[in-house]
Amino acid sequence: MLATNTAWAVTMCFLAGGPGVTNEQAVLASVVISVIEQAEVPARELGPIISIQIEEGDTVEKGELLATIDDGDTKLASKRAELELEAARAEADNTVRVKLAEKALALARSELARGERTRELFEDAITDEDIERRRLKVDQAELEVRQTEHEMRQARIHAQLSDNALQLAKRQVERCRIVAPLAGVVVQVNRRAGEWVQPGDAVLRIVRLDRLRAEGFLNASQLAQVKTGQAVSLRMVLGKGEEKTFPGVLKFISPEIIAADNRVRVWAEVQNKDLTLRPGMRASLMIDAESEE
């Protein structure tokens, strides 16, 4: 363990004294590049896959269609729901019965009023039974108006339920489309066209490479120099001794110190726009203690 600590101290002193490195900079001699975002893209419906639009290694955008599950039945269900909604809306918008019931009520009230006026003028011209029959017609007409208004309300509710059913049917059709949840590179395709899948089955895996994690260990004696949000520079030695620098931001400093070697785990988010960096690579990381994004 003493040898490890000594080697670490020597490395830190060497880097701290190297070209372009100041005492205000904390340096991690070795960090590992890993993925920040990745997704196992599942099937969301039961059925056979009828097409796969991508292959391993393809770069995809968020929302891009990757594969399609057989959606014949779901499309038919969606069309049926659409027709049922059209019929329900037509029924809800049909006010003919209400208008007829209201006119029948107006007529019944008018006949009752005429009968009552006639009886006031000529007492024996209209019998009590006739007046009662006219009042009964008014009551029946009022009930008919209420009934038709109730049916109209029911028709509107049915139209809303039909609309909900249509939206659910459309969502089911949409769930037959497997789309990319994030932009990245397809690194694994688990299923092929013709294979049967169930909801939750992993169809493929996507890894985002335009921003990556650089993780390593910082000597605890340098904790006072760093905090999250500071700018970092990742240095990678490429082929033929060529060196390239990638900008980033320090995202995490562990609250725990590893007592055995007095180190702290940290990681930074590094920009990788040209996709030069690959998960699994090793590089060095410089943290500018005076900068903060």
Q: Which of 175, 196, 223 is the last residue of a domain?
A: 175
What is the CATH classification number for the domain harbouring 186? 2.40.50.100
Residue pair 44/67 in contact by the 8 Å Cβ criterion: no
Alpha-carbon span 52 to 65, nearest angstrom: 9
| Residue 201: strand, helix, or coil | coil
For residue 292, what pLDDT band results from cuts at 50, 70 and 90? low
- Pair 246, 190 in one domain: no
pLDDT tens, residue by residue, 196-210: 999 999 999 999 999
pLDDT tens, residue by residue, 145-171: 888 888 888 888 888 888 888 888 888
Domain containing residue 8: 2-37+208-288
- Pair 150, 13 in one domain: no
Residue pair 126/119 in contact by the 8 Å Cβ criterion: yes
Based on the structure, what is the number of domains in the chain?
A: 3
pLDDT tens, residue by residue, 36-72: 999 999 999 999 999 998 999 999 999 999 999 998 8
Residue pair 217/252 in contact by the 8 Å Cβ criterion: no
Question: Is 233 inside any structural domain?
Answer: yes
Instruction: Name residue, tokens 């109730």.
Output: 150
- Pair 163, 243 in one domain: no
What is the pTM for the complete model shown?
Answer: 0.64
DSSP H/E element including 216: strand 211-219
Question: Is 293 inside any structural domain?
Answer: no
Q: Which of 207, 222, 256 is the last residue of a domain?
A: 207
- Pair 217, 280 in one domain: yes
Alpha-carbon span 174 to 45, nearest angstrom: 10
pLDDT tens, residue by residue, 99-126: 888 888 898 888 888 888 887 888 777 7
Q: Is the pLDDT of residue 177 over 70?
A: yes
Kindly report the number of other CB atoms within 10 A of residue 193's CB atom: 12
- Pair 60, 149 in one domain: no
Question: Is 85 inside any structural domain?
Answer: yes
- Pair 56, 188 in one domain: yes
Taken in order 219, 222, 223, 227, the sign of the CA dihedral is negative
